[in-house]
Amino acid sequence: MKHDTYKPTLTTASSMETHPFVVNVTKLLNNPGSRVTFSCVGTIPDLSVTSSRVLSEQNISVDAVFESVHSGVLVSSIIKTVWEGECRRCLSAISSDLILRTKELFCQDVALDTADTDYFEAYPLAMDKVDLEPMIRDAIVLNLPAVPLCNTRCKGLCSVCGTNLNEQMCNCVV
């Protein structure tokens, strides 16, 4: 089985911008059973749920293995970034590393607007290019904490005076 390190830079004709999460897999598709490794770092805007988010300027790193399979390209990846948010109980600023493992299939014949629920889930492989951004976006948003806590024993805020009960006690009667 062929195994190469592959670090392409791809530009689009329309914008001439570098897209770190778009990979040309023509060589891979022309060699069935082959695999290549790929690493990239970039940013993706608007990654958030309720009280946690990945800032638009926060780097997201991806280390991936692309495998040529019968139905397309199988991508196994490790995605790393940092999320931030507010503790749901005391409203303190918090942040943490987010490290995710994914394994997703990219296929030529994926119908993006189909209502057929029996159709297997895959990401599109268009013009021999894999765009990892939708996969990365899905993985991060689905794994951001919906109710972030600074720690599991957080006491929260006093409902009367608003004192952070993790830092000091108050004399309010609740």
What per-residue confidence (pLDDT) applies to 113?
Answer: 52
Provide the b/e sequence for 41-56 (b: ≥16 CB within 10 Å): ebebeebbbebbbbee
- Tens of pLDDT, residue by residue over 128-167, are 899 999 999 999 999 999 999 999 999 999 999 999 999 9
Closest by Cα among 35, 53, 32, 33 to 44? 53
Q: What DSSP state is assigned to residue 11?
A: B
Instruction: Report the alpha-carbon distance of residue 120 to residue 154 in Å, rounded.
Output: 42
- Sequence ranges of the domains in the chain: 3-143
What per-residue confidence (pLDDT) applies to 70?
Answer: 86
- Tens of pLDDT, residue by residue over 70-80, are 889 999 999 99
Residue 108 predicted with pLDDT over 50: yes
Instruction: Report the alpha-carbon distance of residue 27 to residue 147 in Å, rounded.
Output: 44
- Tens of pLDDT, residue by residue over 14-51, are 332 458 999 999 999 989 899 999 999 999 999 999 88
Residue 116 predicted with pLDDT over 70: no
What residues pair up with 73 in beta bridges, in sequence order?
68, 106
Question: How high does pLDDT run on average in the chain?
Answer: 85
CB 38 within 8 A of CB 66: yes
Helices and strands, counts by H and E, the chain: 2, 10
Taking residues 106-120, what's their average pLDDT?
Answer: 61
Compute CA 157 distance to the chain's CA centroid, rounded to the nearest angstrom.
Answer: 32
CB 54 within 8 A of CB 144: yes
**Tally of residues, the chain:** 174
CB-CB neighbours of 63 under 10 Å: 13
Residues contacting residue 95 through CB under 8 Å, at least 6 positions apart: 82, 83, 84, 85
Residue 9 predicted with pLDDT over 80: no
What per-residue confidence (pLDDT) applies to 79?
Answer: 98
